Structure 1
Amino acid sequence: MSASAPAATRRYGGSLIQIVALVFGVVFLLVGIAGFIPGLTQNFDTMMFAGHHSEAMLLGVFQVSVLHNAVHLLFGIVGLAVAASAVASRQYLIWGGVIYAVLWIYGLFTAGMADAWNFVPLNTADNWLHLGLTVAMILLGIFVPRGSAVRADPATQ
C-alpha cells in the first residue's frame, strides 16, 4: 500500500476471505450460545449431553444437545482465531465445509434412529442446514478472493 492510502485502509489489513471466516465464526458462536438459552431453545429442560433423546429445539426447529452446541462454539472459536490469516481462513472454510458434509451424511443415516450411533441429535432441519453449510463454506473457501476487503480510492493514491 502506498503512503497516501487512506488511514482506514492502512489500519485494516484484513482480506475478504478473512472477513468471511470471521462472520462464520461469529455466527457459529452466537448459535452455540443461543442453544443454551431457554426460550431461544424450546424444551430446554429435555436437553441431554448427547444422544437422540434430547428434545431441545433451537428456535423450535433445530434439534440440539450440549455436544451439538459445543461443536458450534468450537467452530466459532476456530473461525475467530483463523480470521487473523487469509490462508488459515480459506482452510477453515474448506475443511469446515468438509466436516459439515460428513455431519450431513451422518445425519442422513442416523436422523430418527434410536441407537448408539445417533449420538448427535439431528433432525431434517439440521440435515438441510448442514448441507447448506457444506456448499456455502466450500464454495466461499474456493472462490472468495484473497484481496483486501477495504479498497483505497484510486483517486487518492
Structure 2
Amino acid sequence: MTSSTEARPRAGPGWLRPVVAVVGLLYLALGVAGFLTPETASVGHRPENTVWLFSVTTVLTMVHTLVGVLGLLAATKRTGSVIYCWVLFLGFAGMTAYGVFAAAFAAPEDPINVNWADNWLHGLTAVAGLVFGIAGARAATRRAQEVPTHRDLPPKGGTA
C-alpha cells in the first residue's frame, strides 16, 4: 500500500507532450487538407494531386489524419507520448521504405501514390520519433530511479 504523499514515477520528459501535440496537429492539418482536395479519390502517380508538396490519395490522407488524431490523444499523457513516438518511428520507417521503392519504380496502380516529398516527410518523422522515443524512455528511467518507494521511507511514528 502506498501513501498519498508518495510520488509515482511518470514516463517521459515534460516537454514531450507539447511536441507530440504539435506533430499530431501538423499531420491532422495535412490530412484534413488532403480531404478538402477534389482529387483525393484518384489513384496513380499524378504530380497534380498534391497538397503543398505532398501527394494526395484517399489512403495517404486517412493515414495522415489517423496519425494526427492519435498524436493529439497521445499528448494527453506522458506514457502515451512515449509510446506514440515509438509507433511513429516504426510506422514511418516502414512507410519510408515503401515510399522509396514506390517512387523509384512508379507503378501507375499504386494506391498510396507517395512522392519524394512524402518520403522526406515520413523519413524525418521516423527519425524524430526515434529521437523523442529514446529521450522519453531515458527520462522515464531516470525518474523511476529517483523516486523513493514505500520501502525506502522511514516508518510512520518511529525511526528506522
Shared fold (TM-score greater than 0.5)? yes
- The answer to whether 1:137 aligns with 2:129 is yes
Residues 71-117 of structure 1: per-residue CA shift (max 9 Å, x gap): 1110111111111211111110111121000000001111152255x
Q: Give, in whole Å, the separation in 2 of the partners of 1:134 and 1:33.
A: 21
Please, what is the CA RMSD of the aligned residues?
A: 2.3
Residue of 114, 119, 129 corresponding to 2:111: 119
Q: Partner of 2:32: helix, strand, or coil? A: helix
Residue of 128, 147, 156 corresponding to 2:120: 128
Structure 1 residue runs of 4 or more that deviate by more than 6 Å after TM superposition: none
Instruction: Tell me what 2:15 maps to.
Output: 16
Would the aligned equivalents of 1:46 and 1:54 in 2 still touch at CA under 8 Å? no
Tell me how far 1:55 sits from its aligned partner: 4.0
The structure number with the bigger radius of gyration is 2
Q: Give, in whole Å, the separation in 2 of the partners of 1:57 and 1:82.
A: 28
Q: Partner of 2:35: helix, strand, or coil? A: coil
Residue of 51, 64, 67 corresponding to 1:72: 64
- Structure 2 residue runs of 5 or longer lacking an equivalent are 1-12, 143-160
Scaled by the length of structure 2, what TM-score is found? 0.68
- Structure 1 residue runs of 5 or longer lacking an equivalent are 1-13, 38-43, 148-157
Would the aligned equivalents of 1:18 and 1:84 in 2 still touch at CA under 8 Å? yes
Scaled by the length of structure 1, what TM-score is found? 0.70
Q: Give, in whole Å, the separation in 1 of the partners of 2:119 and 2:107.
A: 17
